[in-house]
């Protein structure tokens, strides 16, 4: 349904209009980027020199730097959210981060509980490491401060009945492919939506997910072929380079929406996120609780791999203690 503003423009969406003007070289976007507005709000109230160091750190998180890969926007937001209360407090007493002492960091850490204590120290370590690396402080006050690890619950495998329910719910071609990518390749919904046609190599039975080349098993291969046949028949003239498209995105070049990608299993016990977790846990149970193996297979970070391995070790030890029938 068109909005009143769209009807005033003859039905043209702002996005499509901007895309056409950009291709013609006529579009100039003079708006202040939303990330700059957000950063200005978060830095407001800090002492000038503390603000300067913090802004440099935040922009390095967002854009990367020498020997530093850019982090996700959600990570940068989370880090700055964790350190802001400390920076506001320190700005009342100090002019520069080099004045912050180890006791100041410990006081900030101990004011939080649970998972937040860990998050706060991790974020402060990142900030002070950046400050020391760029020569803005002489001594890192977060060095050798232990991180109180939050121990999460033991991960448990899905019941087969829940998996069967998800398979039944994924009745359409796109839903079957999304289910296979999550349940077999442990792909997140965002990774699945970002997949391009060029990421698929049917001849060599390979698929590239988040820059990692993976072999195509028989089930995923057949599901993928079925989807591509449907896609070719349904939208033969689309120029969208994404593997998964909808009626709306077939006329553009953007990815499918989040809700569309998750709708088939959204309210089920075996939703896409739970299926992804279950696949990684299954790998740890099948091939042994080895964090390095999990990190290599799925491209997950060290902490996540250790958590899966720890859960698998608990489950395997429990199974070994059960008396044989």
Structural domains in the chain? 34-133 (no CATH), 160-318 (1.10.443.10)
More confident residue, 324 or 198: 198
The pTM (predicted TM-score) of the whole model is 0.59
Q: In whole numbers, what is the pLDDT of the chain averaged over residues? A: 88
Share of the chain above pLDDT 70, in %: 89
pLDDT tens string 193-209: 999 999 999 999 999 99
Question: Is the pLDDT at 42 greater than 70, yes or no?
Answer: yes
290 vs 320, higher pLDDT: 290
Averaged pLDDT for residues 44-72? 90
Confidence (pLDDT) at 270 = 95
Averaged pLDDT, 234-251: 96
pLDDT score recorded for residue 154: 87
Q: What is the pLDDT of residue 4?
A: 47
How far is 275 from 280, CA to CA, in rounded Å?
A: 9
Q: What's the token pair of residue 31?
A: 């708006």
Mean pLDDT of 261-290: 94
Residue 283 pLDDT more than 90?
yes
Answer whether residue 6 shows pLDDT above 60.
no
Statement: residue 22 has pLDDT above 60 = yes
190 alpha carbon, distance to own chain's centre? 7
pLDDT digits (tens, 9 = 90+) for 91-104: 999 999 999 999 99
Residue 107 pLDDT greater than 80, yes or no = yes
Strand order in 200-201's β-sheet? 200-201, 206-209, 212-215
Residues 35-60 have a mean pLDDT of 93
- As a whole number of angstroms, the distance between CA 116 and CA 147 comes to 11
- Give the three-class secondary structure for 153: coil
Q: Is pLDDT at 24 greater than 80 in this prediction?
A: no
Mean pLDDT across the stretch 117-126?
A: 90
Q: Is the pLDDT of residue 223 over 60?
A: yes
Please say if the pLDDT value at position 11 is more than 60: no
| Predicted local confidence at residue 33, as pLDDT | 72
Q: How confident is the model at residue 15 (pLDDT cuts 50, 70, 90)?
A: low
Q: What is the pLDDT of residues 141-182, one digit of tens each?
A: 999 887 766 556 888 999 999 999 999 999 999 999 999 999
Which burial class, exposed, middle or buried, applies to 91 when counting CB atoms under 10 A from its CB (0-12, 13-18, 19+)?
Answer: middle
Classify the phi-psi angles of 105: left when phi > 0, otherwise alpha if psi is within -120 to 50, otherwise beta: alpha
């Amino acid at each position: 349904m068109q909005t009143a503003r769209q009807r005033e423009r003859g039905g043209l969406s702002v996005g499509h209009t901007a895309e056409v003007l950009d291709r013609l070289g006529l579009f100039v976007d003079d708006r202040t980027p939303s990330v700059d507005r957000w950063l200005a709000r978060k830095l407001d109230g800090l002492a000038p020199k503390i603000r300067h160091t913090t802004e440099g750190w935040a922009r390095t998180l967002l854009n990367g730097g020498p020997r530093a890969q850019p982090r996700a926007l959600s990570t940068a937001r989370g880090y700055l959210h964790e350190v802001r209360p400390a920076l506001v407090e320190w700005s009342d007493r100090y002019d520069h981060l080099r004045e912050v002492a180890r006791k100041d960091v410990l006081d900030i850490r101990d004011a939080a509980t649970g998972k937040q204590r860990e998050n706060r120290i991790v974020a402060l370590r990142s900030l002070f490491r950046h400050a020391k690396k760029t020569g803005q402080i002489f001594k890192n006050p977060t060095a050798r401060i232990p991180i109180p690890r939050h121990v999460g619950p033991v991960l448990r495998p899905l019941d087969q009945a829940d998996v069967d329910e998800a398979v039944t719910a994924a009745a359409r071609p796109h839903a079957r492919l999304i289910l296979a990518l999550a349940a077999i390749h442990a792909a997140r919904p965002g990774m699945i939506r970002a997949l391009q046609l060029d990421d698929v190599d049917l001849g060599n039975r390979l698929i590239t997910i988040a820059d990692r080349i993976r072999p195509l098993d028989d089930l995923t291969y057949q599901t993928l072929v079925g989807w591509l046949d449907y896609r070719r028949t349904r939208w033969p003239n689309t120029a969208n380079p994404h593997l998964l498209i909808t009626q709306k995105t077939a006329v553009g070049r953007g990815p499918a929406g989040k809700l569309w990608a998750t709708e088939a299993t959204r309210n089920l016990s075996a939703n896409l996120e739970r299926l992804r977790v279950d696949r990684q846990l299954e790998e740890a149970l099948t091939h042994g609780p080895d964090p390095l193996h999990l990190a290599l297979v799925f491209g997950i970070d060290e902490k996540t791999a250790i958590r899966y391995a720890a859960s698998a070790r608990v489950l395997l030890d429990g199974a070994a203690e059960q008396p044989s029938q």
